[in-house]
Amino acid sequence: MKTILLILALICANLTAYSQWSTDPTQENLIRQGNEVIREFTIHTDNNGGTFLVWEDWRTFGPNIYAQRITTDGLPKWDEKEGHIVRAMQGNDELIATIDEIGSISDGNGNAIIAWSDTRDGSHVYVQKINGTGQTQWQYRGINICTDCHGGRVKIVSDGNGGAIIAWSGVKEDFNQPSEVYIKRINSSGVGVWQNDVIKVTHNAEYGNDFLNMVSDGNGGAIITWKQNSVSPYGPGPMLAQRIDHNGNVLWNADGVSMGIIIADIDQPKSVTDGNGGIITVWYDVRNSSGNLYAQRINADGQPQWTLGGLPVCTATEDQINPRIISDTQGGAIIAWEDARNGPSNHDIYTQRINASGLAQWTADGIPVCAQPSSQYGPQITPDGEGGAVLTWSDARSADAFNDDRDVYAQRLNGAGALLWENNGAPVAIGERSQGPVAITTDDNGGFVVVWLSDASIFASRLNKDGSLPVTLVSFEARKENDNAVLTWTTTQETNNKGFEIERSGDGKHFEKIGFVDPHSYGSDTIRNYQYLDTNPLAGSNYYRLKQLDHDGKFAYSKIVNVNFGKASRMSVYPNPTMGDLFIETARAGGRIQITDMLGRVVFEKRMVKPRTYIDIKDLSPGMYILREGASSQVFVKQ
């Protein structure tokens, strides 16, 4: 496999586009177009090659929670780019309520379970499940999991059995008491399964508890960490941990296990499982006047494994902030952070690997992932599936005195700390707008999905693990000749090229295969020119792309080109016959489409928000149907 050099697009060699994913970092993949405030968001895999995205959205007068599923093709699955509502405010709720925190996990069955705290009626913790088609599964507006609790910070992990474990900090019944930590497990129906229902984890914190984190213990239970405010609401205090098993039994000391007496103020703790029923926690610590990073490991029996108070991860000059942590799959961890050692206005991204004994495995005080001028912000990290990590961040290297525009970059490291992609990061999004903050997850299909905010909209990109594509595509063009669309493209270095599938779309989003072109020669290293003639183009816009196939099963998509053949006809329905995906093009928006069987029974209805739309009719029985919109109708066959 040769490395792709999409010469016309100047893309980084480490980004691969699959289906609708853009190969050009200047052309972002839009997921949600917004003009309103979008605040907190979270992403995770759907365990089927796609991604669940959940966010707080102010498109009305107050906060609501929306979700979207991004397909393996990079397309928003539900309601085009609007998302499905998970939690809706009503009446005065919109004017007075707030959302404190959102957490979401995959249940392992193609659904997402979402937890949050909102103030619609005091301050309670709610949960909702949304399935793969975007339908909420539990009661409207979510289940209140503790009616006499008033919660703030919320964390959620899978119980490994289709349900979830939710933890939160707050009070129960008495608002005058300090904040405590509570935990509850629910099954796949949202019903509590523990005998005591809600378990109080913390005790005797005079000024409450803060900085809640939680990870799965790998056996259906969870490990919780928190800071105990024993001196003042915001001052020094110990970091504590507790393990709860799948039956709701408290396994460690009743008051929690201390990570050591920490006399300095701490902040930003993050935790990860050690893979053996224990936990590794990293935090920001000002014991050395400047803020450095320290970590502690507690084993499955609740015993601290490293020096009480934690071992140093980085004690370089100035501050190290915003740590993020993942398992290294060998009992240790890989940690990334934002580092000001090169100046308070020149934050860089650094990383370090520590083993099960807490010893640094890479250069002391970390290796620079990106040390470009200006600052890099908010690193996020995910495992690469091979003992290394993929990082992404918001990057101001292109900012100047007149703007603070930020871009999105990414980097992959192996288990030895070697940078595998372009020095200082591969560009993910370098458009005209400012990008960030960012989030990243694996897609369970050998790649990684990065999501970011920009101008109140949500964008995404997919990164391939090795960044290689099978063919060097020099050009790809389309033109109109009489009633035909002529596609031409030029390639070089066709090592392992199996050929090209030609795909067409009426809306630029939903494509179908219309032809195939064999390679001119196997193993060619010279310029090759290709042509394909579409003798039956669609009325209106025709969008084309190439799907280049490899003999080893890999593939890559070209950019999209367009040819227009005038106004669309009254109605176009394709493909016909269909296995379940039906694309409809009409002359106007706002109409209503209706599908009836041959006995006249209505089996599907939907309003056409746009002149072109896509519907999923996989649930229809095989047979012949009639699709109507206004005075137009067309017969199609469902196979």
pLDDT bucket at 214, cuts 50 / 70 / 90: very high
Shared domain for 524 and 575, answered yes or no, is no
> Is residue 163 one of the residues assigned to a domain?
no
SS3 96: helix
Among 150-154, 205-209, 402-406, 466-470, the range with the most confident prediction by mean pLDDT is 150-154
pLDDT computed for residue 79 by the predictor:
66
Per-residue pLDDT, averaged over 443-470, amounts to: 77
368 token code pair? 């620079």
In angstroms, the CA 263 to CA 400 distance is: 41
582: CB partners within 8 A, 6+ apart: 573, 574, 575, 614, 615, 616, 617, 627, 636
Domain boundaries, position 633: 571-639
Shared domain for 562 and 579, answered yes or no, is no
Shared domain for 553 and 485, answered yes or no, is yes
What would the DSSP string read from start to end of 101-168?
Answer: EEEEEE-SSS-EEEEEEE-TTSSEEEEEEE-TTS-B-SSTT-EES-TTEEEEEEEEEE-SSS-EEEEE
- pTM: predicted TM-score of the whole model, two decimal places: 0.71
Mean pLDDT (the chain) is 83
pLDDT digits (tens, 9 = 90+) for 528-587: 889 999 988 888 888 898 988 877 676 777 878 889 887 545 677 878 888 888 888 876
SS3 95: helix
In angstroms, the CA 636 to CA 639 distance is: 10
555: CB partners within 8 A, 6+ apart: 18, 470, 547, 548, 549
Cα distances (Å, whole numbers) of residue 493 to 1, 275, 469, 472: 9, 44, 11, 6
> Is residue 491 one of the residues assigned to a domain?
yes
Residue with the bigger pLDDT between 26 and 328: it is 328
φ, ψ of residue 295 in degrees (nearest 5): -145, 155
241 token code pair? 């941990």
Per-residue pLDDT, averaged over 56-81, amounts to: 79
Question: What distance lies between CA 133 and its chain's CA centroid?
Answer: 17
In angstroms, the CA 559 to CA 475 distance is: 9
- With beta carbons less than 8 A apart as the criterion, state whether 544 and 487 touch: yes
Shared domain for 505 and 486, answered yes or no, is yes
Tell me which amino acid residue 577 is. P
> Is residue 586 one of the residues assigned to a domain?
yes
Boundary residue ending a domain (567, 596, 613): 567
- Share above pLDDT 70 across residues of the chain, in percent, rounded to a whole number: 85
In angstroms, the CA 287 to CA 284 distance is: 10
Tell me which amino acid residue 347 is. H
Boundary residue ending a domain (567, 584, 607): 567
Position of tokens 């290293």?
525
Shared domain for 604 and 546, answered yes or no, is no
pLDDT computed for residue 19 by the predictor:
37
> Is residue 14 one of the residues assigned to a domain?
no
> Is residue 589 one of the residues assigned to a domain?
yes
Tell me which amino acid residue 83 is. G
Per-residue pLDDT, averaged over 69-85, amounts to: 76
CATH number at residue 486: 2.60.40.10
Q: Give 210's strand partners.
A: 227
Split into its structural domains, the chain has a count of 2
Shared domain for 603 and 559, answered yes or no, is no
Boundary residue ending a domain (524, 547, 567): 567
Per-residue pLDDT, averaged over 332-346, amounts to: 94
In angstroms, the CA 99 to CA 114 distance is: 13
SS (H, E, C) 574-616: ECCCECCEEEEEECCCCCEEEEEECCCCEEEEEECCCCEEEEE
pLDDT digits (tens, 9 = 90+) for 414-438: 999 999 888 898 888 887 778 889 9
φ, ψ of residue 264 in degrees (nearest 5): -95, 165
- With beta carbons less than 8 A apart as the criterion, state whether 38 and 100 touch: no
> Is residue 145 one of the residues assigned to a domain?
no
Shared domain for 490 and 562, answered yes or no, is yes
pLDDT computed for residue 263 by the predictor:
61
SS3 360: strand
> Is residue 630 one of the residues assigned to a domain?
yes
pLDDT bucket at 469, cuts 50 / 70 / 90: very low
* Of 73-82, 165-174, 262-271, 366-375, minimum mean pLDDT range: 73-82
Tell me which amino acid residue 79 is. D
pLDDT computed for residue 470 by the predictor:
40
Per-residue pLDDT, averaged over 167-193, amounts to: 88
Shared domain for 558 and 576, answered yes or no, is no
pLDDT computed for residue 625 by the predictor:
86
Q: Give 488's strand partners.
A: 477, 531
Shared domain for 488 and 539, answered yes or no, is yes
φ, ψ of residue 182 in degrees (nearest 5): -125, 160
pLDDT computed for residue 207 by the predictor:
73
Shared domain for 582 and 562, answered yes or no, is no
- Share above pLDDT 90 across residues of the chain, in percent, rounded to a whole number: 40
Shared domain for 485 and 561, answered yes or no, is yes
Shared domain for 511 and 540, answered yes or no, is yes
CATH number at residue 598: 2.60.40.3080
144 token code pair? 């209140």
> Is residue 311 one of the residues assigned to a domain?
no
